[in-house]
Structure 1
Amino acid sequence: MNDGPTNDLKNQRKERMRFVSAEQVAQLAGVSRSAVSRTFTPGASVAPATRERVLKAAEELGYHVNDLARGVLANQSRLVGIVATRPEVGFRAHLAAALSKALIQRGSIPILINTGQTEEEMLAAQKMLIGHRAEATIILSGSPPANFFELAHRNGQPLVVIGRSEPDADHVRAGNSEASRKAANAFFEKGRRKLAVATSFSATSSIAERETAFKTAAEALGASVAIGRGKDSDYDSGIAAAKQLFASAADYPDAVYCANDQIAFGLMDYVRTTLGLSVPDDVAVIGFDDVPEAAWLSYRLTTFRQDPIVMAQRAVELVEKRLANPDLPPAYERVIPELVVRDSFVP
């Protein structure tokens, strides 16, 4: 059996898959391997003529510095972990995209870890990032256990959490309370008295803060507040919350504050399609996040805008400050959302 040609093809493929090495650049440029290394090391001393030959050879061969190997030798890297549960859903998708772009502009390499909320899953993600010498971790969701933070601190890895409150970490949070109180006041000023909150059992700190602040402010004004919950903070939960809130025709709420836009979309579709109610005439709706779908003609949702670009920039700034000065006390950045008025409710 002659398998020579097959093996030759395999070897050729393997050869093509190899990255260009610094040794190859050195051979083509006629210089030493260390001269190539110095050429691509900022601040290193190398003769102008040597530098020119090395750069010309590198361009001809398509050579790029092995940043991963360099990071391993320096016991650090430009890797930054982005840890999120269901990063493809709602506002998290836009925030993850904005973080990736901001980190790349900084010169970092973002790694998205799609993990669950169990202790085992979170610790596995953290060990992976520590093992790859990630210089920081940004957490978008989930409830990291205490061991998660202890492991990061023992390895000198900065942690930034977005939309959560965790000890010994830097924080970026939206002004949930401010926005929620504004929503309650806006409904009340338009004569809405039978108010409701559509939320979820996920009970993240941001979701809980929005619910509590709205309910407290509305009841202080003298309005009644009903609560409807779904399993998670998504479209299906909006439908589940709507079924609870509109179970009795004699007691329909006339305004609903939704913990996020995904919940608002589900609720609006249910009350209009299933119950035949009008938004905003029969029931006014305010959401939270201002994802792109909020502007669609199907929804035209009035909502509080969280700007993912601003939040990403704040998170990256906190990473840089922590790397520059590891002994700083935990930082708290608060971004106040703006009310974007559309058709579902006009103050």
Structure 2
Amino acid sequence: MSLTDDGVRGFVSAQQVAERAGVSRSAVSRAFTPGASVSPETREKVMRAAAELGYQVNDLARGLLANRSRLVGLVATRPEVGFRAHLVAALTAALIRRGNLPFLINTGSSTAELEAAQAALFGYRAEATIILSGSPPASFVELARRNGQPLISIGRSEPGCDHVKVDNEAAAREAARLFLARGLTRLGLAGSASGTPSIVEREQAFLDEARRLGAQAVAARGADSDYAGGQQAAQVLFAMVDRPQAVFCVNDLIAFGVMDAARHRFGLRVPEDVAVIGFDDIPEASWDAYRLSTFRQDPAEIAVHTVAHLDRRLASPGAAPSTVRLRAVFVERASTSSSTTSSSPRQTAE
């Protein structure tokens, strides 16, 4: 920043750098353009003047001139909650390393908030849009498609998009088998009424596998996919006459609510009276208060594959949509009664 003639602070301009270096305005532009023709002596003078003044290239203006904004929109509902917060952090770091400027669009919960989110995303001409799992409506996705933006979907299915998915179904079925292998035949599911694609996949696969194996399986759902939702589900599950011996929770926040309700409201021991498995492996899962056995999603791994999709799509806009499906690996901790050995993460391309 610098002071203008009237004492108002403003950004240092390329013209000011040119005047300090004693060169032309165009020489400053060439000095900051990779591969442009400029003598080493001129480049050195420009860079020294820029450092003295604190000058930074206006990447937004440069991108507009090149018809490439470098902006990438991250679209999410409740991005501050649970695993999604860690995923947003990993995605923004990966995009910045790539040279993009990520900006987060919180779709909110009202029509007005959704309309404001849409105006922000499409008004700034983002070069790509990443849709996170959650509940951004299909209309939002369709509007992005009509605006000609490359679309990458994480954790949900959208026609014509590239996808990065975690194999929710395989993990949920594995959870049912783990409980049965330990002699636990009365199983509970702590789910969520939010009905997001990932949540629905986990719920349906767990219940289907448990019943296929001959277990008694009951479900209870909280109002949302959070700690309070877990406590709501626990109130139903543990008030039953034949309460579950084990509970699969569709994410870790719900699992924390279930465990605290079990211990403090119903006087149950974890895992002696009820075993609990979660999903996500957010950092709090390893805290001494929970030591939660859970299925791990790796935010950094998801971000790497998302950026790879973006590179491929921008290089070949007409290429067929591609899907990468990642395995969620079981991490054993104290909320289940015996140890198992989990295998390494793997991914397959479809």
Q: 1:183-233, CA deviations, whole angstroms, 9 ceiling, x for partnerless residues?
A: 110100100000010001001111000011111111111001100100100
Q: 1:283-307, CA deviations, whole angstroms, 9 ceiling, x for partnerless residues?
A: 1000000011111111110000000
Answering whether residue 115 of structure 2 is matched by residue 138 of structure 1, we say no
Question: Equivalences for 1:115-154 in 2 at 5 Å?
Answer: 115-116=107-108, 121-154=113-146
- Structure with the higher fraction of residues in helix conformation: 1
- What code does the residue aligned with 2:264 have? T
- What code does the residue aligned with 2:186 have? K
Distance 2:69 2:85 in 1: 25
Q: Which residue of 2 aligns with 1:285?
A: 276
Q: 1:15-69, CA deviations, whole angstroms, 9 ceiling, x for partnerless residues?
A: xx31110000111111111111111112211122222211121111111110011
Answering whether residue 184 of structure 2 is matched by residue 192 of structure 1, we say yes
Task: Could you tell me which runs of 5 or more consecutive residues in structure 1 were left unpaired when the two chains were aligned.
Answer: 1-7
Q: 1:250-283, CA deviations, whole angstroms, 9 ceiling, x for partnerless residues?
A: 2110010000000000010001111101111111
**More off after superposition, 149-158 vs 186-195:** 149-158
Distance 1:179 1:300 in 2: 19
Answering whether residue 263 of structure 2 is matched by residue 239 of structure 1, we say no
Distance 1:10 1:185, change over 3 A: farther
- What code does the residue aligned with 1:339 have? F
> TM-score when scaled to structure 2?
0.91
Answering whether residue 157 of structure 2 is matched by residue 165 of structure 1, we say yes
In structure 2, the residue corresponding to 1:165 is in which secondary structure? coil
Distance 2:305 2:90 in 1: 11
Shift of 1:177: 0.7
Question: Equivalences for 1:269-280 in 2 at 5 Å?
Answer: 269-280=260-271
Q: Which residue of 1 aligns with 2:333?
A: 342
Q: Which residue of 1 aligns with 2:298?
A: 307
- What code does the residue aligned with 2:78 have? R
Q: Which residue of 2 aligns with 1:155?
A: 147
Distance 2:144 2:263 in 1: 48
Pick from 81, 89, 101: which aligns with 1:109? 101
Shift of 1:336: 0.4
Q: Which residue of 2 aligns with 1:64?
A: 56
Q: Which residue of 1 aligns with 2:14?
A: 22
Distance 2:331 2:100 in 1: 33
Q: Which residue of 1 aligns with 2:348?
A: none
Question: Equivalences for 1:316-327 in 2 at 5 Å?
Answer: 316-327=307-318
Answering whether residue 72 of structure 2 is matched by residue 80 of structure 1, we say yes
Q: Which residue of 2 aligns with 1:203?
A: 195
Q: 1:145-170, CA deviations, whole angstroms, 9 ceiling, x for partnerless residues?
A: 45433432343311111111111111
> TM-score when scaled to structure 1?
0.92
* RMSD (Å), alpha carbons: 1.9
Distance 1:238 1:329, change over 3 A: same
Distance 2:312 2:133 in 1: 22
Distance 2:146 2:76 in 1: 22
Residues 77, 108 of structure 2: 8 Å contact kept: yes
Task: Could you tell me which runs of 5 or more consecutive residues in structure 2 were left unpaired when the two chains were aligned.
Answer: 340-350
Distance 1:178 1:113 in 2: 31
In structure 1, the residue corresponding to 2:75 is in which secondary structure? strand
Distance 1:179 1:286, change over 3 A: same
- What code does the residue aligned with 1:112 have? L
Q: Which residue of 2 aligns with 1:3?
A: none
- What code does the residue aligned with 1:292 have? P
